Amino acid sequence: MQNNISLTLQPMDIEMDKVNLEHQPYIIQYPFSHTNANNRQRELISCIKQYGLFAPIIVQKTKKGNIFIVHGANRFLACQSMGCSTISSRVLPYSMQDQKVYLFSLSLFLSHKKPNSMEQAKIIKKLLSFFPEKKIIKDYLPLLGLPQNEKAFSRIIQLADLEKDIAQDLAAEKINPEMALRLVKLPAPERIQIYRFLQQLPFTTSQQFEVLEYIQEISLRDHIRVKKILTDQLILDILSKDQDQRQKALSLRIYLRKKRYPRLTTKEHEFAQEKKTLRLPDHLELYPPAYFEHGNYKFELKFADFSEFEQKANFLHKLAKNQKFQTIIKS
C-alpha cells in the first residue's frame, strides 16, 4: 500500500461532541462501541489516566464540518468514557480523497492488529468500491491473512452484511466462520431464527452444524417454514423442561434426528426394544450392522476373569438356541 501522507500536521484539540460515532467510514475495528469495552480498553483508560494521551488521534474534517476518525478510535472511546470534552488530534485535509484516507486508515490498522473475520469481510467490501476484485485478491487478501484466491474472496465477502447479532459473535469468535457461512446462505428471517435458537443451548460447533442441517433439511423436505419447526410443541416442551441445559441440548438433537430420519430411528428403536428382551448380561453388548444393512452383527464381550468369561460364553451358547434372538437377526 502506498500512502505518501505527510504527518507533519500540528496536533490540535477537537471537540469530542462534534464527532458522530454513528457514521464513521474509516473505522475498521469491528465491533466498535462502548458496549464492547473489554480488558484492553480498561487498560487503555488506566494508562491515559496515568500518563495522559501520548499520541494524538488522526481524524479528517470534511467540508461540511463532519469529523471522521481515521486512527485512534479506541483512544477516542477511552477519552469519551473518562468524560473528556476535547481530544488531541492530527487533522487530515478535507481535500484528501476517500480512497486515500481509507487506505491510510487500513495501513495503520493492519500495522498493529490481525483483523477478525468480520473486519476482513468489511474491509473487502469497502475495497470493492475502489478496486476490481482481481486487484483485491492479488494485493489485499495476503495483507488480511487470507489465501490469495477467488474462493477465499467469495467466501469472506458473503459475511460483510451479516446481521449485528451474528456479526458481533463472529468477530468475538463465539461462532465458527464456517457456521456463519452456512447461516449466510439462509434467507434473512430464517437465519436469525435459527441462530437465536442455536444460541439458547450449549451445543458444540459440530452439534450446531448437525442441528442446523436437521432443521434446514426437514424444512426443505416437508415444505414447512423454519419457524414452524422451531415452535413445534415438542421442541418448546424440551426447552421449557426443568433440566440441565446440556441434557436439553441432547434431547433436542435426538428429537430432530428422529424427525429427519424417521425410518432409521424407528428401526434403531425397534432393535433396542428387541435387544432388551434378550436380557443380555452386563459387559455383553450386541450391535447391529451399520444402518441395518452393511456387514455383520457384532457382540462385544468384556470380562474381568475366567469365571466371568465362562459365564458369558455359557450365555452366548444358550442364546444360539434362543428363538427371539434368531428373529432379531433375521429381521
Partner 1 sequence: MYQPQKIIISPEVRSSSLVKIIIHNCPSIPIEYCNINKDSPYLQEKNNLVITRNKGNFFKPCPGTSNYLCCLYKILNIGLNCPLSCTYCILQSYLEYPALTIHANLNEMFEELDRLFTQFPGQIFRIGTGEFTDSLVLDHITELSKILVPYFARQQKAYLELKTKTDTIHNLANLDHQGKTIIAWSLNSSRIAKEEELGAPSIEQRLLAAQKCQNLGYKLAFHFDPIIFYPGWEKEYQKTIDMLFSTIKPSHITWISMGCFRFMPKSKPIIQEKFPHSRIIYEEFIRGLDGKMRYLEIIRQEIYSKMISWIRQRDPKCFVYFCMESPKIWRNCLGYAPANNEELKSWLDQCCLRIIK
> Which residues of this chain interact with partner 1, rule CB under 8 A?
217, 220-221, 261-264, 267, 290-294
Give the nearest distance from C-beta 292 to partner 1 in angstroms. Answer: 7
Q: Which three cell numbers stand for residue 256?
A: 430432530
Place of cell 480523497: 97
Give the nearest distance from C-beta 230 to partner 1 in angstroms. Answer: 18
**86 or 331: whose CB is closer to partner 1?**
331
Cα distance between residue 52 and residue 93, in whole Å: 26
Give the nearest distance from C-beta 293 to partner 1 in angstroms. Answer: 4
Give the strand order in the sheet containing 12-15. Answer: 12-15, 86-92, 57-61, 67-71
**291 or 309: whose CB is closer to partner 1?**
291
Place of cell 473475520: 117
Residues forming beta bridges with residue 92, ordered by sequence position: 60
Give the nearest distance from C-beta 223 to partner 1 in angstroms. Answer: 8
Among 22, 32, 5, residue whose Cα is nearest residue 91: 5
H-type helices in 201-322, by residue range? Answer: 205-222, 226-230, 233-240, 245-260, 262-277, 306-319
**164 or 294: whose CB is closer to partner 1?**
294
Give the nearest distance from C-beta 187 to partner 1 in angstroms. Answer: 11
**1 or 220: whose CB is closer to partner 1?**
220
- 223 burial via Cβ count (<10 Å: 0-12, 13-18, 19+): exposed
Cα distance between residue 196 and residue 205, in whole Å: 15
**292 or 303: whose CB is closer to partner 1?**
292
DSSP codes, 143-173: TTT--SSHHHHHHHHTTTT--HHHHHHHHTT
Give the nearest distance from C-beta 47 to partner 1 in angstroms. Answer: 49
Give the nearest distance from C-beta 296 to partner 1 in angstroms. Answer: 13
Cα distance between residue 27 and residue 62, in whole Å: 15
**189 or 281: whose CB is closer to partner 1?**
189
Cα distance between residue 108 and residue 97, in whole Å: 17
**293 or 300: whose CB is closer to partner 1?**
293
